[in-house]
Every structure is written in C-alpha cells, then in structure tokens.
C-alpha cells in the first residue's frame, strides 16, 4: 500500500498577485512514485476582478515551463478510447454538457445581476454542447473567449462536472523532456519551487508585461504526493521467500512420496516372494526335498557300512579259524 501526502488550496490572482509558489511535501525522493494534480479554474473573489474567470494559467518547476506538457496530458486523458465505442470520451462530453447547463441555469437565475450577455451565453452553450470530442476544446488553462469571462471553458469544469482523472506529474515531466530534450526528474519537486502564474510569469518569462495581461480569476489545486511504502518491498520479499519454501516443501514432499512408493512396491514384491506360493517358498521346498533325499542316502549308506562291518567280522573269524587249523596240522 502506498503512502500518500496531500495538499490542497485555492490561489487567487489580481494586480500585484501575479503568481504563487506551492510547496509540496516531497520528503523522500528515493520512495517517490508519482505526484498527481487536480487543477481547475474558479471565479475570482478579489476586489474589482470578483467573478472573473482565470485565463492562461501557467505552471513552472523551477524555471522549467511545464504548462504545455500539462495541457497535453489532460488532452490525452480527455481523448482516451475505451474499446471500440469510445464510451469514456462520450461520457466526458455528456458531463461537460451538464456542467454548461448548470452554469447557464445559474446565470439565468442571476438575471440582471449577471454581468454578461445571457443570449450570447446561451448561444455559446448550445455551440459547445455539439462538440463530442471535448479534448479539442482544451488548448490552455483558462480562456475568457468561452462565454462570459471564460466560465464556459473546460478548465472551469474539470474535476467537478467533468470527472477526468488527476494528472500525473511523472507523465507531464516525461512529455516535457521529450519535447524539449531536457532531463527534468520527478525528484526535482523536492528541491525546486513549483510556481503557478496567471499568464507569463514575471520571474521566468522575458515577455512578461503587466499592461498586456491583467491577472484575475482563481484556481483550486489538490496535490497527492505518492510514495512507495518501504514495508511493501520487505513484505514482497517475505512473500517470495514463503512461496519458495512452499515450492521446496512440495518438491520434498513429492520426492518422499516417490521413495515411499518405491519402498511399498519392493515390500509387495518381497511379500509375494515369501508367500506360500512364492518363489522363495517353492525354492525352499525343493531344497528341503533334496536335503531329505540326502539324509535318506546317508542313512542307507550307514546301514550298508554296518552290514559290511558285520560281514568283515565273520570273514575275519573264519580266517582266524583256518589259521588255527593249519597250525595244528603242521
């Protein structure tokens, strides 16, 4: 889960209030993932410019002018295609049309207090509602040619009527670098001031001329500074270790099961061999028969030997008798 630091506020522009610095809570650039910005125009609430809308708002990081890249990123969001029916792009057009109707209804209720021309306001609303690809209407951050004081411009309706997603400053920086050959980084938000100006900025633009551009109107900004949670990496590593242990456990379990299966097969074979009808028992029976035959042969031979010994004794006795007879005759 990401760690998010938020900052929001309203900036008003008037004479001698041409630009405003915005400090962002970027405290750990190593874990910085993105900075997302919601920016929309508001009517001024200051003095003689009260009620007027903003025009040509510009954004700078240090002295790097990011406005065009920011506008391009919002245009890309407004022009996004979803599948083949462009349903999200059509939804933005519907939302914009509802926002225009809401503004027109407000102007009509003001009646004579409305500082503009109601008939021209209705005409402009009807014209804008015919546009289905609203990204083509978004060429700058505020344009007073859209109805009275620019209140019909798309910039006045972003993130309220028109629910476009917040703008990724990582994407803005990438677009800026691609267009200008620079090497700006998201981490520079930690060390360089972010400046929002009404028209050319007197701090960075040589063509700034207070007589040509009267600052007025206001903007509302909402930044979300998104950091990667350092614990997420640790948790991810622990999950990988657990998964590896599970894999090793499964492999070991399979090896043990294979070995137990082999042992079972060998035991079954041994049981068969030593069973009454097994090979071992059959061979043992044959050996017993042979041993029995040998025992009988031994017994028979022993009887034969005994008989021969008896015959030899008889023969010896007869020989002894013959010897005695011969001696007596001699």
330 residues of the chain, pLDDT tens digit each: 788 999 999 999 998 999 999 999 898 898 999 999 999 999 998 877 789 999 999 999 999 999 999 999 999 999 976 554 567 889 999 999 999 999 999 999 999 999 999 999 999 999 999 999 999 999 999 999 999 999 999 999 999 999 999 999 999 999 999 999 999 999 999 999 899 999 999 999 999 998 888 899 999 999 999 998 877 666 666 677 777 778 877 787 778 777 778 777 777 776 776 666 666 666 666 666 766 766 676 666 666 666 667 777 767 777 777 777 767 665
- Total tally of structural domains belonging to the chain: 2
Residue 245 lies in a domain: no
| Pair type for strands 167-168 and 3-12 | unpaired
Indicate if 42 and 117 belong to the same structural domain: yes
Find the domain containing 23 and state its range.
Answer: 3-228
Give the per-residue pLDDT at 141. Answer: 98
Q: List, in order, residues 6 or more apart from 280 with CB less than 8 Å away.
A: 273, 274
Same domain, residue pair 201 and 324: no
Q: Are residues 200 and 289 in the same domain?
A: no
Q: Has residue 235 been placed in a domain?
A: no
Query: Is residue 134 assigned to a domain?
Result: yes
Q: Nearest to residue 167, comparing CAs of 14, 29, 35?
A: 35
The answer to whether the CB of 156 falls within 8 A of the CB of 150 is yes
Strand partners, 76: none
Residues 6+ apart with CB under 8 A from 300: none
Rg (CA), the chain: 52
For 160-278, where are the alpha helices, taking DSSP H only?
169-180, 230-274
User: What is the C-alpha separation between 158 and 135, in angstroms, rounded?
Assistant: 12
Residues 89 and 189 in one domain: yes
**CA–CA dist 175, 22 (Å, integer):** 22
22 and 89 co-located in one domain: yes
Q: How would you classify residue 224: left for phi > 0, otherwise alpha for psi between -120 and 50, otherwise beta?
A: beta
Residues paired with residue 7 on neighbouring β-strands, in sequence order: 223
Res 268: pLDDT = 76
Residue 65 sits in the same domain as residue 184: yes
Predicted pLDDT of residue 108: 95
For residue 206, the model assigns a pLDDT of 92
Structure tokens at 192: 């360089």
**Same domain assignment for residues 158 and 33:** yes
Residues constituting the chain = 330
Residues 6+ apart with CB under 8 A from 182: 64, 176
Q: What is the pLDDT of residues 29-82, one digit of tens each?
A: 989 999 999 999 999 988 777 899 999 999 999 999 999 999 999 999 999 765
């Amino acid at each position: 889960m990401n760690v998010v630091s938020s900052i929001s506020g309203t900036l008003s522009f008037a004479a001698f209030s041409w630009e405003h610095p915005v400090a962002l809570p970027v405290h750990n650039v190593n874990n910085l993932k993105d900075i997302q910005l919601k920016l929309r125009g508001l009517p001024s609430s200051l003095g003689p410019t009260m009620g007027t809308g903003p025009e040509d708002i510009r954004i700078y990081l240090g002295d790097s002018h990011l406005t065009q890249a920011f506008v391009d990123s919002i245009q890309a969001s407004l022009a996004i295609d979803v599948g083949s029916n462009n349903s999200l792009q059509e939804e933005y057009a519907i939302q914009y049309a509802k926002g225009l109707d809401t503004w027109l209804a407000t102007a009509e209720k003001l009646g004579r207090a409305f500082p503009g021309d109601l008939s021209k306001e209705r005409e402009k609303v009807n014209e804008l509602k015919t546009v289905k690809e609203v990204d083509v209407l978004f060429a700058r951050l505020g344009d007073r040619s859209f109805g009275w004081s620019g209140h019909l411009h798309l910039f006045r309706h972003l993130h309220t009527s028109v629910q476009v997603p917040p703008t990724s400053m990582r994407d803005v920086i990438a677009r800026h670098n691609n267009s200008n050959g620079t090497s700006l980084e998201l981490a520079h938000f930690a060390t360089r001031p972010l400046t929002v100006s009404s028209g050319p900025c007197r701090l960075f633009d040589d063509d700034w001329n207070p007589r040509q551009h009267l600052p007025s109107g206001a903007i509302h900004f909402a930044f979300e500074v998104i950091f990667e949670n350092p614990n997420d990496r640790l948790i991810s590593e622990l999950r990988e270790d657990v998964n590896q242990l599970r894999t090793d456990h499964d492999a070991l379990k399979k090896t043990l099961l294979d070995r137990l299966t082999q042992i079972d097969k060998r035991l079954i074979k041994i049981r068969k061999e030593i069973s009454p009808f097994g090979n071992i028992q059959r061979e043992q029976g044959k050996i017993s028969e042979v041993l029995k035959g040998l025992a009988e042969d031994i017994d028979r031979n022993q009887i034969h030997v005994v008989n021969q010994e008896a015959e030899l004794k008889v023969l010896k006795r007869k020989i002894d008798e013959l010897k005695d007879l011969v001696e007596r005759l001699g």
